[in-house]
């Protein structure tokens, strides 16, 4: 079997599979305040079917309320106990202060009586007058001490009631927290959109009955912006150097093979990650979908052909026609029944063909399978002066690169500002 060397455009593509997702989305999260009342894990009790189109304010998910109900029951008992303590302390204080006031009134009466006796004893003997004077001074001193003690008791009573009142207010506030959080355990859509379940740490989507930790943000589902879609895919470390920002991508949908979408590489990760169930490392690549299509949905699987290199009018031959021997590559050519073992210089290869820079000419006949008799054939080396490198075309859309970088520079300050607000709110 033979074929001829052809000349034409030659493209090197990186083929990957990926998944659609929205570039921007609104998160539907568990109500704020759960961790503040000591709940760090919550279970989903109800959830609308994934793909449901909801309007702002529509029900999306219901979270299990049993933990909050248990805490509220205990808090209610503590609150009743604290309320009783506050009432009792208030009554005790009232009685204690009333007794102190009555004592002051009686001491003032005694002082007035001593004053009268002292005035009446001025006509008595000096000793009687002196005793009356001493009794009066003693009553005056007792009244002064009791008045000072009364002021101290007032301060003590106020401090005691403030402490008990503070404990009561703290328990009332905690009860209000429980009530507020409980009222928000039925989650409503913050805006209109299509509900897409969020994934747990293990990659499985949240569903009714599943529990999730709140340390990761407590996201239950998302409302993606279906007008701005992207493909997330992974490139192995061998092909990673071939993929760059701005390269054009042909995107195919597994669910609709007849549809062809256009995309462009937006970002290539600089740090690899291990592929599941494998020792190989892969690099995440984000691809903007440029084609507008209302039927696109998150989690749709895609095939991606990333245009890595493009050459104009290059000589190309099928890969199955190439053989390797030591440090050289060669093909078998045929001319009038004569077989030649011809060395070739390969610039690059794609899925099916190799781009040749030296050793062959357009129209040369080459063998696709090993000729019947190749014994005794010597390798015909190439002439360096005959090398012809085809013109390489750019596969990068520079205008789109500038546009994407401009968008990133505008998004970054907003992202930092939002993260700052989130951090401040957390504290």
pLDDT the model gives residue 422 = 37
Whether the pLDDT of residue 235 is over 90: the answer is yes
pLDDT the model gives residue 415 = 53
- The per-residue pLDDT for range 148-180, each reduced to its tens digit, is 998 998 898 899 889 988 999 988 998 998 899
3-state DSSP of the chain: CEEECEEEEEEEEEEEEEEEEECCEEEEECCCCCHHHCCCEEEEEEECCCCCEECCCCEEEEECCHHHHHHHHHHHHHHHHHHHHHHHHHHHHHHHHHHHHHHHHHHHHHHHHHHHHHHHHHHCCHHHHHHHHHHHHHHHHHHHHHHHHHHHHHHHHHHHHHHHHHHHHHHHHHHHHHHHHHHCCEEECCCCEECEECECCCCCECCCCCEEECCCCCEEEEEECCCCEEEEEEEECCCHHHCCCCEEEEEEECCCCCCEEEEEEEEECCCCEECCCCCCEEEEEEEEECCCCCCCCCCCEEEEEEEEEEEEEEEEEEHHHCEEECCEEEEEEEECCEEEEEEEEEEEECCCEEEEEECCCCCCEEECCCCCCCCCCCEECCCHHHCCCCEEECCECHHHHHHHHHHHHHHHHHHHHHHHHHHHHHC
pLDDT the model gives residue 279 = 75
Pairing status of strand 328-335 against strand 41-47: unpaired
Whether the pLDDT of residue 201 is over 80: the answer is no
Mean pLDDT, the chain, rounded, equals: 87
pLDDT the model gives residue 294 = 84
Whether the pLDDT of residue 427 is over 60: the answer is no
φ/ψ (deg, to 5) at 119: -70, -35
pLDDT the model gives residue 426 = 32
Whether the pLDDT of residue 40 is over 90: the answer is no
- Over residues 269-291, the mean pLDDT reads 87
To the nearest whole percent, how much of the chain has pLDDT over 90? 37
pLDDT the model gives residue 414 = 52
φ/ψ (deg, to 5) at 325: -145, 115
Whether the pLDDT of residue 251 is over 90: the answer is yes
Confidence of residue 321 (pLDDT cuts 50, 70, 90): very high
pTM: 0.63
- The per-residue pLDDT for range 372-424, each reduced to its tens digit, is 887 888 889 998 888 888 999 999 998 999 998 888 787 655 554 544 443 33
- The per-residue pLDDT for range 53-87, each reduced to its tens digit, is 888 899 999 999 988 888 889 989 999 999 999 99
CA nearest to 30, candidates 56, 58, 66, 65: 65
pLDDT the model gives residue 194 = 86
């Amino acid at each position: 079997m033979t074929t001829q060397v052809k000349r034409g455009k030659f493209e090197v593509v990186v083929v990957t599979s990926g998944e659609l997702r929205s570039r921007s989305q609104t998160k539907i999260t568990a109500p704020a305040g759960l961790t503040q009342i000591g709940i760090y894990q919550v279970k989903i009790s109800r959830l609308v079917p994934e793909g449901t189109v909801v309007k702002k304010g529509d029900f999306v998910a219901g979270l299990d309320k049993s933990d909050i109900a248990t805490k509220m029951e205990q808090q209610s008992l503590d609150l009743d106990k604290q309320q009783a303590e506050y009432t009792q302390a208030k009554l005790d204080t009232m009685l204690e202060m009333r007794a102190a006031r009555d004592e002051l009134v009686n001491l003032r009466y005694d002082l007035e009586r001593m004053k009268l006796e002292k005035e009446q004893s001025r006509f008595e003997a000096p000793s009687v007058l002196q005793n009356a004077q001493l009794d009066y001074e003693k009553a005056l001193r007792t009244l002064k001490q009791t008045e000072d003690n009364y002021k101290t008791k007032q301060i003590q009573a106020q401090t005691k009631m403030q402490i008990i009142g503070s404990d009561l207010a703290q328990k009332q506030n905690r009860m209000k927290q429980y009530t507020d959080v409980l009222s928000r355990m039925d989650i409503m859509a913050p805006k209109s959109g299509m509900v897409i379940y969020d994934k747990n740490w293990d990659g499985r989507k949240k569903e009714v009955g599943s529990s999730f930790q709140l340390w990761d943000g407590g996201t239950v589902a998302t409302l993606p912006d279906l007008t701005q879609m992207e493909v997330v895919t992974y490139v192995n470390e061998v092909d990673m150097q071939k993929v760059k920002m701005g390269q054009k991508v042909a995107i195919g949908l597994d669910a609709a093979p007849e549809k062809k979408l256009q995309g462009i590489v937006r970002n290539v990760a600089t740090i690899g990650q291990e592929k599941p169930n494998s020792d190989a490392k892969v690099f995440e690549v984000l691809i903007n979908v440029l084609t507008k299509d209302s039927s696109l949905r998150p989690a749709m699987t895609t095939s991606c052909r990333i245009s890595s290199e493009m050459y104009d009018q290059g000589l190309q031959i099928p890969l199955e026609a190439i053989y390797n021997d030591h440090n050289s590559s060669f093909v078998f050519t045929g001319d009038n029944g004569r077989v030649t073992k011809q060395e070739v210089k390969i610039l690059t290869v794609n899925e099916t063909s190799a781009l040749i820079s030296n050793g062959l000419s357009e129209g040369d006949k080459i063998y696709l399978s090993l000729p019947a008799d190749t014994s005794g054939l010597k390798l015909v080396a190439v002439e360096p002066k005959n090398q012809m490198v085809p013109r390489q075309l750019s596969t990068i859309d520079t205008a789109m690169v500038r546009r994407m970088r401009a968008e990133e520079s505008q998004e970054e300050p907003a992202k930092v500002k939002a993260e700052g607000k989130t951090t401040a709110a957390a504290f």
